[in-house]
Structure 1
């Protein structure tokens, strides 16, 4: 039935070993080298991706801190500007009050001066009219009734002029 040919088996076994040796020497080693290089390249890329991710996270954190700092500085600038504007507004109000007070005092002084001038002018007019009345009274040598009538007329004239 089955006849085993030992020579053929040994020959096939030797051929298989030679083929295995040739494949491992010329095909398997370069293939394994390529696969190891590929594996190393993939590992390097993974490591680089991790480094890049960490660097990106650090950069993102730095940017977040920079934005926060800029926001705080902007808030501080706004607060300073608000205080400055309030201070300037207060100074403007105070200056306006002082100017108003100065104008009021100047107006009161002007009113007082004009009042004094008016009183002085009135006194001069009264004095000149008194002299005029006295002169007329003396010139006419009127009796008492006529003098009173004449004085009343001149006083009436003086009242109309004022």
Structure 2
């Protein structure tokens, strides 16, 4: 039974076949006359647009590669310049530090020399002061001793005699 039901669907009807063919030919003619050229033209334009876009993308890619290369060159140049500036700055810094050390050493040596001279002068002044004080004290002591000894007439005569003996011996 299923075979009988499918059989009319499988067998072609000649009238349906003719009308389907005529309709297809009319549709094909109308499409080729009015729609085919605009569709082909639109496809050609789309193809050209895609080709242009691809060529522009390729050109942009090349330009980008060129810019990246230039950027790398500029970066290398900047690094070299930075290194040069840092090296120069380090040299200047070292020179300034060395000059400052030399200046500090010479100033320190001058201050030490000045301090030594000042110490020597103070020492000499102190020695002179001590000598003056010692001589003053010696004179006072000698004066007091002589006064004690010269109070007695006999002691005076003995001192004079002793002094005269010493003078003759020398």
2: CA distance, partners of 1:103 / 1:67: 52
The 5 A counterparts of 1:1-162 are 22-139=30-147, 140-141=149-150, 142=155, 143=158
What are the Cα deviations for residues 49-101 of structure 1, in whole angstroms up to 9, with x where unaligned? Answer: 01110111111112111211221121112112211221121122112202211
* Higher normalized contact order (CA 8 Å, seq sep 6+, divided by chain length): 1
Q: CA deviation at 1:112?
A: 0.7
Superposition RMSD on alpha carbons, in Å? 2.6
SS state at 2:69 partner: helix
Q: CA deviation at 1:33?
A: 0.3
> How many aligned positions are there?
131
> What is the distance in 2 between the residues matched to 1:102 and 1:24?
112
CA distance in 2, matches of 1:47, 1:25: 34
Q: CA–CA distance in 1 between the matches of 2:29 and 2:110?
A: 116
Gaps of 5+ in 2: 1-20, 163-170
Q: When the two structures are superposed, what TM-score results if normalisation uses the length of structure 1?
A: 0.69
| Residue 21 (structure 1) shift | 5.7
In terms of Rg, which structure is larger? 2
